[in-house]
């Protein structure tokens, strides 16, 4: 090997060693981190969001939550958690809640990728299965309490835990269950639907006249009109909660569903026909 070739070889070896050293860096927990800065894309967020609104992140390369967290920075600093949906899709969330009435910016280190969350007041929705009530709070104070109908035990119990409203539909068409069975439903013009986990939503139920008892297939049903077995507030509960909550509003479900001796033994049958969108919205107001 002549002198020029030896110099070129040594230079190439130095580049390789530097690259290996760079890619072998580790997180504070000792997990290796790929420092190649994969191409990323933040998802859209609402103009204003509840304090539990997640930020979607998509990566060009398959990554792990540890690698994602190592590349994220936030201002002001908020304790974060990363949930993996797929090796290319992640949810970035606060460990508790985002600070209320704040602007929180997430950035991907080494690139221009960033997203800012603007939060509303500290509004929360609490659902107690034991008492069949929903309580709306703001800044830790009770704003309104209303009677609801949740899922029938044991098959259709409304799930407990801390969730967030991720989808809102003013006039929904709900279909579920197995066709041809008593558990099948196909109901048009369900007003004020606010989904918080899977296909489970808080929504108005103009066909329900048994609030205070579990009668649903898992959803949380609210009155859509004042009167007997209905709302005592103005506007009616379903519409009021639609105006109160937003995307990202926390929904905290606790308690135990009353057993069959205290509640309906099967979900309440749905009506054979539905009103028009106009009458559905009218009854909900």
Query: Which of 272 and 277 is assigned the larger pLDDT?
Result: 272
Closest CA to 133 of 258, 281, 282, 267: 258
> Hey, what's the torsion of the CAs at 59, 63, 67, 72, to 10 degrees?
10
Of the residues 118, 147, 178, the one at which a domain ends = 118
Domain end call among 75, 91, 118: 118
In a domain, 24, yes or no: no
Structural domain count of the chain: 2
Same domain assignment for residues 164 and 233: yes
Does residue 230 register a pLDDT over 80?
no
Residue 25 is assigned to a structural domain of this protein: no
Region for 177 from its dihedrals, namely left if φ exceeds 0, alpha if ψ lies in -120 to 50, beta otherwise = left
pLDDT value for 221: 95
pLDDT, tens digit (0-9, with 9 covering 90-100), for 148-170: 999 998 888 999 999 999 999 99
132 in a structural domain: yes
- Residue partners of 24: CB distance under 8 A and separation at least 6: 32
Quick check: 145 pLDDT over 70?
yes
CA dist., res. 232 & res. 30, Å (int)? 58
Does residue 148 fall inside a structural domain? yes
The answer to whether residue 8 sits within a structural domain is no
- Across residues 34-48, what is the average pLDDT? 79
62 in any annotated domain: yes
- Last residue within a domain, chosen from 84, 118, 152: 118
Overall average pLDDT of the 183-194 stretch: 80
- Same domain as 96, residue 71: yes
Q: How confident is the model at residue 176 (pLDDT cuts 50, 70, 90)?
A: low
| Co-location of 259 and 208 in the same domain | yes
- Most confident among 9-13, 134-138, 222-226 (mean pLDDT): 134-138
Q: Are residues 107 and 214 in the same domain?
A: no
Rounded to an integer, the average pLDDT of 188-207 is: 92
CA distances from 199 to 98, 137, 161, 240 (A): 25, 24, 15, 22
Q: Are residues 261 and 165 in the same domain?
A: yes
Taking only the tens place, the pLDDT of each residue in 122-137 is 999 999 999 999 999 9
Could you tell me the CATH number of the domain that includes residue 111?
2.60.40.3710
How many residues would you count in the chain?
Answer: 285
Say yes or no: 252 and 183 in one domain. yes
* 14 located within any domain: no
What gap in Å lies between CA 246 and CA 240, rounded to an integer?
A: 12
Q: Tell me, what CATH number does 149's domain have?
A: 2.40.440.10
229 and 108 share a domain?
no
133 & 232 share domain: yes
Q: Domain residues for 81?
A: 39-118
Q: Are residues 143 and 203 in the same domain?
A: yes
Does 174 share its domain with 70?
no
**Residues 82 and 215 both lie in one domain:** no
User: What average pLDDT does the structure give for the chain?
Assistant: 81
Q: Which two tokens stand for residue 50?
A: 């509840």
Which pTM was predicted?
Answer: 0.78
Kindly state whether residue 69 falls inside one of the protein's structural domains: yes
pLDDT band at 34 (very low <50, low <70, confident <90, very high): very low
Same domain, 185 and 108: no
């Amino acid at each position: 090997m002549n002198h020029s070739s030896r110099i070129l070889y040594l230079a190439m070896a130095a580049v390789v060693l530097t690259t290996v050293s760079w890619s072998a860096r580790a997180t504070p927990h000792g997990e290796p981190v790929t420092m190649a800065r994969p191409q990323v894309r933040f998802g859209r967020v609402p103009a204003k969001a509840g304090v539990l609104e997640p930020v979607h992140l998509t990566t060009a390369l398959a990554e792990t939550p540890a690698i994602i967290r190592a590349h994220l920075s936030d201002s002001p600093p908020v304790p974060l958690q990363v949930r993996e949906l797929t090796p290319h899709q992640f949810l970035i969330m606060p460990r508790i809640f985002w600070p209320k009435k704040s602007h929180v910016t997430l950035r991907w280190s080494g690139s221009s990728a960033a997203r800012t969350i603007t939060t509303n007041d500290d509004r929360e929705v609490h659902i107690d299965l034991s008492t069949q009530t929903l309580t709306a709070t703001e800044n830790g104070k009770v704003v309104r309490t209303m009677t609801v109908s949740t899922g029938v035990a044991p098959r259709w119990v409304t799930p407990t835990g801390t969730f967030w409203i991720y989808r809102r539909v003013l006039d929904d068409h709900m279909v579920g269950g197995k066709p041809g069975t008593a558990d099948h439903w196909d109901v048009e013009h369900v007003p004020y639907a606010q989904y918080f986990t899977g296909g489970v939503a808080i929504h108005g139920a103009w066909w329900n006249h048994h609030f205070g008892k579990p009668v649903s297939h898992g959803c949380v049903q609210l009155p859509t009109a004042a009167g007997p077995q209905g709302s005592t507030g103005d506007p009616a509960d379903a519409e009021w909660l639609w105006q109160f909550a937003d995307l990202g509003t926390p929904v905290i479900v606790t308690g135990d569903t009353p057993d069959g001796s205290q509640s309906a033994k099967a979900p309440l049958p749905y009506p054979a026909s539905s009103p028009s969108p106009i009458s559905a919205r009218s009854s909900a107001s």
